[in-house]
Chain A
């Protein structure tokens, strides 16, 4: 039971953007993808999300090839939180969050309200809920996108099917406190059974919250495993082509990455 890729590759002409990557996102885990610009993180995410087919290898969701899952059923099972959208019309924050809701039944109205209010509270955007989305700052928009994703993968009590949330740099426009609160939320959701894959640029957030880390370099997997095993000073310095120090901070009792 997982969202998996086996030997996946994506090519543009002769160039392989990503090549021969094996990945499993299990329900209940928070997998963080790290890597420098152009390492293929977003390409990997778009293949796992089913946006585009892999040119090599295969992506499966619970052992079913992803291209054989209809886009409606796929949307029931996984949500993607991308960069903030630009809208031409004045939808409110609440409108955007509600767009994640999938169930159409009339009886689901109470559940809908619950899921939307919970997501709005989780992402701390209650004060913005009735504002027009396009008047928000980019960091605020990013939290709205996350709330929409959480609504999409909302797990009702009568449904035990696993769900996945894929996020492309969900903290890139957020301040420190908001970034930490987003990762806290993602960890909490993963503990409730959600499979979470997040692309991050902040190595410290990755080291602190990831169950496992996939480190990409030039479209290939440089390493994959527990943060302490993957995020060594030598490997990070090599992948990011700049000196990186990693130490275990005894007072905080966690890895700290210094650049």
Chain B
């Protein structure tokens, strides 16, 4: 015990902080793996995963078909959407320096839904090249999300008003505007389109198929990976735009990358699954409580935690009312909305 290792030379609380950050990412990583395994096995058709892997049981043709063609894409899509929403929530909270920023609350998800719905209703009348097919819906949703995020940023931040209230009020207005657009498209839609539309307003992973989800998952993965390296710059941005610039951060470039990355992640997610509320609000807060406020932990841990939470929520949506299925967006909002209320009350008392 007389040798002095590099870790013991360091200040104990610095080492303790690094430890805490590492174990936070580890905990949520393990949680995600467990969630993925359980969610792939349980459902309307139960799949004896363990027995098939380690025992002598073999899957029936129906079981293996359900597993590879229905269950796996659905669970993966839920994981990707959860990660995308949680990371977007975390970076938007950092960008707006506001703990209440959340893709659904501030209207980014509605913008994406409007884009997606517009695409569903109008695309029959447009001649779209076959190749673009699977990308058209995500791209339309991303365009909608991008428009809203940019507008929001111009309204809420350029006015030098960092108040929590302004951003939420602008979000309400944008949500209202998007509702008008969605109402309009619903009105002009035909019966077949109407069924697809209802879907978007509630949120569900029920339609996951490999051919449609792969492009969207690729987009979400790219968006998340483009946001992760911004962690240190997001930390510095918390001091304010001017201070961050004095510390060597190109703030306009950082803002563009955040807005574009978050809009892509949310847009691609919403295009596949509709609006799934409050994941982007609840997850970053839970992660901060456990792992601290540094973005280099917050962003990856939020991705893992968001993915795990959404996979579990989708599992709940599939099994709670078996053999029927409830929309997963309903479930996340039922958990998230009371949490949001608690958060508002807490912020009001401490600030």
> With A51-B242, A113-B10, A113-B11 in contact, is A95–B247 under 8 Å at CB?
no
Pair B98/A152 contact, Cβ less than 8 Å: no
A99-B248 in contact given A88-B97, A89-B288, A113-B14 (Cβ < 8 Å):
no
The 8 A CB mask of A73-101 against B (1 = contact, 0 = none) is 01110011010011111110011100110
In the complex, how many residues of chain B place their beta carbon closer than 8 angstroms to a beta carbon of chain A? 25
Choice from B13, B239, B293 contacting A85 with Cβ under 8 Å: B239
A53-90 near B? 1/0 per residue, CB < 8 Å: 00000000000000000011011100110100111111
Contact of A85 with B243 in the complex, beta carbons under 8 Å: yes
Hey, which chain B residues are within 8 Å of A211, CB to CB? none
Question: Does B246 lie at the interface of the complex (its beta carbon under 8 Å from any beta carbon of A)?
Answer: yes
B13, B248, B288, B294: the one contacting A75 at CB < 8 Å is: B248
Give per-residue flags for B272-308: 1 if the beta carbon is below 8 A from chain A beta carbons, else 0: 0000000000000000100001100000000000000
Residue B23, interface by CB 8 Å: no
Bound CA span A71–B236, Å: 14
B247 close to A152 (CB less than 8 A)? yes
Q: Are A82 and B242 in contact (CB under 8 A)?
A: yes
State whether A100 touches B247 (Cβ < 8 A).
yes
A100 to B239, CA, bound (A): 11
B201 within 8 A of A: no
Which single residue of chain B is at the shortest CB-CB distance from A91? B293
Measured CB to CB, the nearest residue on chain A to B13 is A130
Q: Which residues of A contact B93 (CB under 8 A)?
A: 88
Report whether A85 and B240 are in contact in the complex, using a CB–CB cutoff of 8 Å. Answer: yes
Cα of A82 to Cα of B10 in the assembled complex, Å: 30
Cβ of B232 to closest chain A Cβ, rounded Å: 9
A90 and B293 within 8 A (CB): yes
CB distance from B290 to the nearest CB of A (A): 13
Whether a CB of chain A sits under 8 angstroms from the CB of B238 is: yes
* Contact between A99 and B236, CB atoms less than 8 A apart: yes
Q: Is A201 an interface residue (CB 8 A)?
A: no
Cα separation A85 to B243 with both chains bound (whole Å): 8
Tell me the bound Cα distance from A71 to B233 in angstroms: 13
Question: Given A88-B98, A91-B293, are A99 and B250 also a contact pair (CB < 8 Å)?
Answer: no
* Interface residues in B49-107 (C-beta closer than 8 Å to A): 93, 97-99
A75 touches B247 (CB 8 A): yes
With A and B bound together, what is the CA distance between A180 and B98 in angstroms?
Answer: 36
List B contacts of A75 (CB < 8 A).
246-248
Q: Which residues of B contact A76 (CB under 8 A)?
A: 248
24 A-B contacts (beta carbon < 8 Å): A51-B245, A71-B245, A71-B248, A72-B248, A74-B248, A76-B248, A79-B246, A82-B243, A85-B239, A85-B240, A85-B243, A86-B162, A87-B238, A88-B98, A88-B238, A89-B99, A89-B288, A90-B288, A90-B293, A91-B293, A95-B235, A99-B247, A117-B11, A129-B13
What 3 A-B pairs come out closest when comparing CB atoms? A75-B248, A89-B293, A72-B248
Beyond A51-B242, A79-B246, A89-B99, 18 extra complex contacts between A and B, CB < 8 Å: A49-B246, A51-B245, A71-B248, A72-B248, A85-B243, A87-B238, A87-B239, A88-B99, A89-B288, A94-B13, A95-B235, A95-B293, A99-B235, A100-B247, A102-B248, A113-B10, A130-B13, A152-B247
